[in-house]
Amino acid sequence: MIGLLSATVSFAALLYLAALGELIAEKSGILNLGVEGMMAIGAVTGFMVALETNNPWIAFLAAIVATAVFALLHGLFTVVLGAEQVVSGLSLTILGVGLAAFLGKGAVGRPPGAVLAPVDWGPLSDIPWVGTVFFSQSPVVYFAVLAGVAVSLLLTHTSVGLALRGAGESASTVDAAGYSVTAIRLAAVAFGGAMAGASGAYLTLSLTPQWAEGLTAGRGWIAVALVIFGAWRPGRAAVGAVLFGGLLALKTRLQTFGVDLSPILLSMLPYLLTIAVLIVISIRARNRPSAAPAALGQAYRREER
């Protein structure tokens, strides 16, 4: 049971990191379906750099930077050139998964060069149950919590957050107010990449910690789902992350609890729940403004305003 709770927190952080990045990108009006590919790039970069340097922090940072740069490819095509976001995002996934497999070929099966060891909180870590579940986690987990609070504050309490939300609701208004829509959206896409990279690196530097082709195993899609499940709000997404993380953790432990339910069927739940939530959001959107950013998916060209 305690293993289940501890794994729930770990998986929740994994999903939440990537979802926070996607949330910011979508808030700015850019749908990026490349999360799965970005996670793969982050995972392979983190693992390879750790092999070279034996320093987990350099590896973690390298994964974040590399994936942010990788994500800017989506930014270049959708924000600067105004290409179709769905097509560019999916291509980013295909490219990321392919590149990661290509670059990581020599690293398959090798032991990790370094891992992000669990943080020792001293006496806190010794508290029965609570200590194991909350205070013996990888530093990335606490990073995810901080990032969630930071993103939440940024969106609601700062002018940058206001401009960001504006870019996703009505780009021309933000433009008229003197902000550069292009700069805001590019920064949001890069941030999305950075967070997906952190999530991927968490896999290869803490959770697994190994590299194999297809390691991300569809978790990037769950992160995309999480943004919708959380109705584009960091707080609700956190609740969703714990729920989906719990489902991932439960998947491998069902038998130990003597439950006669296929773990495979259980793993459908995040996707089905997301569809259900999206339907509810759509029904409610008939009577009031939708939870989704109004300009999500639309290119902005100032000259055609």
Partner 1 sequence: MTRLVLVRREQVLKGGQPLAFLIGLVFAMLIGVVLLLISGHDPLAIYGRMVEASLGSPRAWSITLNRAVPLGLAGLAVAVAGSMGLWNIGAEGQILAGAMMAAWVARLGEGWASPLLITAMLVAAVVGGALLASGPAVARAQIGVNEIITTLMLNEVALRLLQWLIHGSWKDPESHGFPLAPMLPDEARLPGLFERAHWGVVIALGVIALFGLVASRTSWGYELRVAGSSGATARYAGISLKRKITTVLILSGGIAGLAGGIELSGNADRITEGISAGYGFAGIIVAALALLRPSGVAAVALLFGAVQVGGLSIQTMGVSSSVSTILQAFILFGAIGAGVFSRYAVRRVKNDKTDNQS
Give the nearest distance from C-beta 94 to partner 1 in angstroms: 5
Q: 109, exposed or middle or buried, with CB in 10 Å at 0-12, 13-18, 19+?
A: exposed
Map residues 129-168 to x or -, x wherever contact with partner 1 holds by CB under 8 A.
Answer: ----------------------------------------
CA distance 82 to 175: 16
278 binds partner 1 (CB under 8 A): yes
Assess 79 for contact with partner 1 (CB under 8 A).
Answer: no
Let me know: does 66 contact 43? Beta carbons within 8 Å: no
Nearer to partner 1, 242 or 266 (CB): 266
Residue 172 in the binding site for partner 1 (CB under 8 A) = no
CB 229 within 8 A of CB 274: yes
**Six-digit token pair at 43?**
């995972």
Helices (H), 158-268: 159-169, 171-176, 181-202, 219-229, 234-251, 263-266
How would you write 260-281 as a 3-class SS string? CCCHHHHCCHHHHHHHHHHHHH
Write out the DSSP string of 153-171.
HHHHHSHHHHHHHHHHH-H
For residues 197 and 220, which CB has a smaller minimum distance to partner 1 in the complex? 220
With binding defined as CB under 8 A, does residue 225 bind partner 1? yes
Query: Binding of partner 1 at residue 274 (CB under 8 A)?
Result: yes
CB nearer to partner 1: give 172 or 208.
172
Closest CA to 143 of 202, 187, 188: 202
Told to check if 214 binds partner 1 by CB under 8 A, we report no
Between CA 24 and CA 189 the distance in angstroms is: 8
Binding residue count for partner 1, defined by CB under 8 A: 51
Does residue 59 interact with partner 1 by CB under 8 A?
no
Binding segment for partner 1 (CB under 8 A), chosen from 16-24, 88-96, 109-117, 242-250, is 88-96
- Judged by the rule CB under 8 A, the positions of this chain that interact with partner 1 are 31, 33, 73, 77, 81-84, 86-88, 90-95, 97-99, 101-102, 105, 176, 178, 213, 218, 221, 224-225, 228, 262, 264-265, 267-268, 271-272, 274-275, 278-279, 282-283, 285-286, 292, 301-304
